[in-house]
Structure 1
Amino acid sequence: MSTPLSTPLSTPLRATLSTPLRTPRPAASRVATLARVRLMPGDGPRLVDGAWWPRSVDLMAELPRMLRALPHSWPQIVHVTVNSAMWSDFPGRMLIANHVLQLHRGTGRNTPSTVCLLAPGRGRWDLLVIPPHTDEAEAMRLMAGAATP
């Protein structure tokens, strides 16, 4: 199930963090803090709701960055399911912005290269996860395809 919570295709690929930086950082440092997320516009049933291209396989570093880049209109995500084979080891939960996020390991064919974001009673969003080592041109093609209705 998807809800009308998405970013139009015209939105830049790199979304900035929602928390402002307190001290100016060099441009190269700021680029490393940007999440590479693209969301499909509109509402309705679909296989994926967008794509995420993390910079590393460290879920504990990448997930908070991605969640902060989601639209402010989205409800609070409470559960996240990822393919455990794709990520370095991670705990069953983590604290992000003073709320506990439950992390679940998926190993079946339902989660081969996706992340499932769940806000109970509010919605579920499945994003294609593009491996961090993917060539930039290929990653951009995959992200555009995942965000096209």
Structure 2
Amino acid sequence: MNSTEGTSHTGFHAGSSSVRDETRAAAEVARRRVRIMPATSYPTLPRPEPVAVPAVRLALKSDGAVRGLLDGAWWPRSRDLLSELPALTAVLDPLWGRITRVAVNPTYWPAIPRKVPVDGRIVKVGWFAAEIDPHKLLLLSYGIGRWDLLIIPPETGAESAARLMAAASDHDGLPLTASALIAAEEGPHGVAPTGAPLGPDKVGEPRVKIA
């Protein structure tokens, strides 16, 4: 009885050892197959196309021109400074030096952010109700100086905007203030009300290049 039990017990262990050996061998074969298996090639996903940024509508006086009261004109597409200023300063930085501060009159701007992110840095924004013409944008360039732009109301028609841009960037023109230029254009031609919101179908492009 004892001998039979011993034999059965020995046989059980021997069988178990054989099963473990076969399992190890199968696992080793599987590992080798995994090592030599070629990498699966997945199709490359198309990269998203970059979103085109609308060109800045801007006209500047040429170098060497008498500055007068204005250095040019800017025709923003909306009254949202947070979205409009980054594109403007990106264009002006290589021309005038890095723009560090901007100031406006709050009359025609519903919200004025204190800071605007531009290319990984911050441009500070301020406002002055009495010191700045309601239709003018004041820019301060790092180590260079101050620049003044006529702000053409966003809802202005293309023809009126082109005339205002030409007048503000003409070094031989009359030294009119920003508001005087707007008033002169409103008289004979009739510019849209400066307080009206910008409509998506009311914006045109002036045929004016940066001077």
TM-score interval (norm. to shorter): 0.7 to 0.9
Aligned equivalents of 1:119 and 1:82: distance in 2?
Answer: 15
Query: In structure 2, what residue type is equivalent to 1:23?
Result: E
1:19-56 C-alpha deviation (Å, 9 max, x unpaired): xxx8255xxxx4x6211011001234410000000001
Measure the CA separation in 1 of the matches of 2:67 and 2:165: 18
Cα displacement (A) at 1:148: 0.7
- TM-score, structure 2 length as denominator? 0.54
User: What is the alpha-carbon root mean square deviation over aligned residues?
Assistant: 1.9
The alpha carbon displacement at 1:110 in A equals: 3.0
- Pick from 37, 44, 62 the counterpart of residue 58 of structure 2: 37
Q: Post-superposition shift, 1:127? A: 0.3
* Structure 1: distance between partners of 2:105 and 2:58: 18
User: Match of 2:156, SS?
Assistant: coil
* Unaligned 5+ runs, structure 1: 1-21
Question: Contact 1:37/1:69 (CA < 8 Å) preserved in 2?
Answer: no
Structure 1 counterpart of 2:68, from 42, 46, 70: 46
1:82 aligns with 2:108: no
Hey, what's the Cα distance between the residues in 1 that align with 2:154 and 2:67? 27
> Distance between the aligned counterparts of 1:88 and 1:116, measured in 2?
18
Aligned mates of 2:102, 2:139 — CA distance in 1: 5
Q: What is the match of residue 151 of structure 2?
A: 129
Q: Which structure shows the bigger proportion of residues in strand conformation?
A: 1
Select the structure that is richer in helix.
Answer: 2
- Equivalences for 1:4-83 in 2 at 5 Å? 23=49, 30=52, 33-43=54-64, 44-70=66-92, 72-83=94-105
8 Å Cα contact 2:73-2:150 kept in structure 1: yes
Following the alignment from structure 1 to structure 2, what is the Cα–Cα distance between the partners of residues 54 and 67? 12
The separation in 2 between residues aligned to 1:105 and 1:86, in whole angstroms, is 11
Listed one character per residue, the Cα deviations across residues 105-130 of structure 1 (whole Å, up to 9, x for unaligned) are 12125322111110243111100000
The 3 A distance-change label for structure 1 pair 71 and 99 is closer
Larger radius of gyration: 2
Q: Secondary structure at the match of 1:72?
A: helix
Q: Percent identity?
A: 37
Residue of structure 2 aligned with 1:110, choices 120, 132, 136: 132
Encode CA deviations 1:83-108: one digit per residue, 9 max, x unaligned.
21211212211221111111011212
Give the unaligned 5+ runs of structure 2.
1-47, 172-211
TM-score by length of 1: 0.74
Superposed structure 1 runs of 4+ greater than 4 Å apart: none
- 1:107 is paired with a residue whose SS is coil
